[in-house]
Amino acid sequence: MIRIENLTKKFGKTEALRGVSVQLQAGRVVVIMGPNASGKSTLLKCILGVVQPSSGEIRVLGQPIAGQWQYRADIGYMPQLNHLPENLTTAQLFEMIRAVRKPQPGQPLDYELFDQYELQGWMDKRLGQLSGGTRQKINAALAFLFSPRIIVLDEPSVGLDPVAVEILKAKIRKCRAEGRLVLLTSHLFAEAEELGDDLLYLRDGQVQLDTPIADFLELTQQASLGDAVLAYYHRPPAAPVTC
């Protein structure tokens, strides 16, 4: 579904991505992890076309995305920080997004998260008056609204209450079962192990691990993903692992 070849991104002298190559398949939950500043958000932003790579190529659903924007219709995105327009009401935001995205006649809109998060009760409220968690629920509901084939979630559980997190996890699993690709960043090994099929571990803008999580656990003979990544980094310097 997404194929990335030798992607680099420089911000001035900072090399945020250094030769990232990876293929992301349909029907998988891929968790991107790595230390702070390792390039996770930059990689997502390159896929979304928000950040222009310095070199390399990204193909989404077979097509190169450079200079394109139509492919974004196939991607739902939940950003890490919710920069929502403060003066709009929730209802106006949904109207605006629907107007911009122009769903095809008959295209099913997915209000499942909207309903489960009981967002109807917030429709008349200005976004600037809402709590951070409620705003994240709105972002999550918008990411799934147009039934995209690819869902990109940047640290989705941050700020959500525990029940909202469980609702989101169930939604992610459902999307996987429907053959969609879910790509998310997380700082929580337990979350990655619980939800993820594949781990993409970045370090200093490079891919350190690109592996099915189950294979990596078997390879390292560790009880948890956290232990497995620690064990990997406690070994003497090694070549990147690909299972």
Tell me which residues touch ligand ATP (CB under 6 A).
11, 14, 16, 34, 36-42
CB of 112 to ligand ATP, least distance (A): 28
Which lies closer to ligand ATP via its Cβ, residue 121 or residue 132? 132
Which lies closer to ligand ATP via its Cβ, residue 9 or residue 137? 9
Q: Order of strands across the sheet with 63-64? A: 14-24, 2-11, 55-60, 63-64
Interior CA angle at 63 toward 105 and 48, to 5°? 75
Provide long-range contacts, Cβ within 8 A and 24+ apart, for 65-74: 72/48, 73/101, 73/146, 73/148, 74/148, 74/149, 74/150
CB of 17 to ligand ATP, least distance (A): 8
Residue position matching structure tokens 């995305």: 65
Which lies closer to ligand ATP via its Cβ, residue 11 or residue 123? 11
CB of 54 to ligand ATP, least distance (A): 12
Which lies closer to ligand ATP via its Cβ, residue 195 or residue 217? 195
- CA pair distance 195, 134, nearest whole angstrom: 23
CB of 229 to ligand ATP, least distance (A): 15
Query: What tokens were used for 202?
Result: 């970045």
Which lies closer to ligand ATP via its Cβ, residue 37 or residue 66? 37
CB of 22 to ligand ATP, least distance (A): 15
Residues 6 or more apart from 9 whose CB is under 8 A from it?
15, 16, 17, 39, 42, 46, 51, 53, 54, 205
CB of 7 to ligand ATP, least distance (A): 12
Contact 117, 167 (CB under 8 A): yes
Which lies closer to ligand ATP via its Cβ, residue 14 or residue 120? 14
Query: What tokens were used for 119?
Result: 């967002």
